[in-house]
Chain A
Amino acid sequence: MSQPQLFTIDFLGIGSDENGSPQLDSHQHLLHKRSMQSCLGKIKPYMLQQVLSHGCRSDSQNFHSEGHIGVCEGIKTMDLFPQHPLGFQSNGKQESALLDRKTEICEDVTTNPSSPQLTIFYNGAVKVYNDVSSREAEAIIMLAAANEDALPSSTPSNISNLLRKSVSNPEESTQGAKQSHAIETSNANLPIAKKLSLQRFLQKRKDRVSRVIPYATSSK
Chain B
Amino acid sequence: MTLDVISWMPEGFLLVSLLGLLCYGINPGATPFKEQTAVPLYAVNHQRMMGSFSTNEKNLSLFNTPDQNMTGATPAGGPGHSSELLGAWAIPWCLLALMLIYHCPLHTLMAGGVFLRDLFSVQLGSLLWLFAAMVLTMSLSWQKTAGIVHPEYVTLTLLALLGQHLLICATDLMAMYVCLELQSFAVVVLCSLNYRSAYSIEAGMKYFLLSAFSSCLLLLGIGLIYWDTGLTQCHHLVELLQSTQQEPSLGLWLGIWLVSLGLLWKLSAAPLHLWVADVYMGAWSSVTLFLSTLPKIAVLGFWIHSWHPLWSSTYGKTMAVFSALSLIVGALAPMAQTQLKRLLALSSVGHMGFMLMPLSAGTEAFGALWVYLILYLITNLAIWGLLMWPYHRPGQTLTGPQYLWDLGALNQTSPAASTAWAGGMLSLAGLPPVAGFLGKLGLFWWALNSHFYALVIIALLSTLLSTVYYLRVLKVAYVDAPTHWGAYGKLASINAYLIAWAWALLVLFLWHGAPLILSCHLLALAS
Q: Do A and B bind each other?
A: no
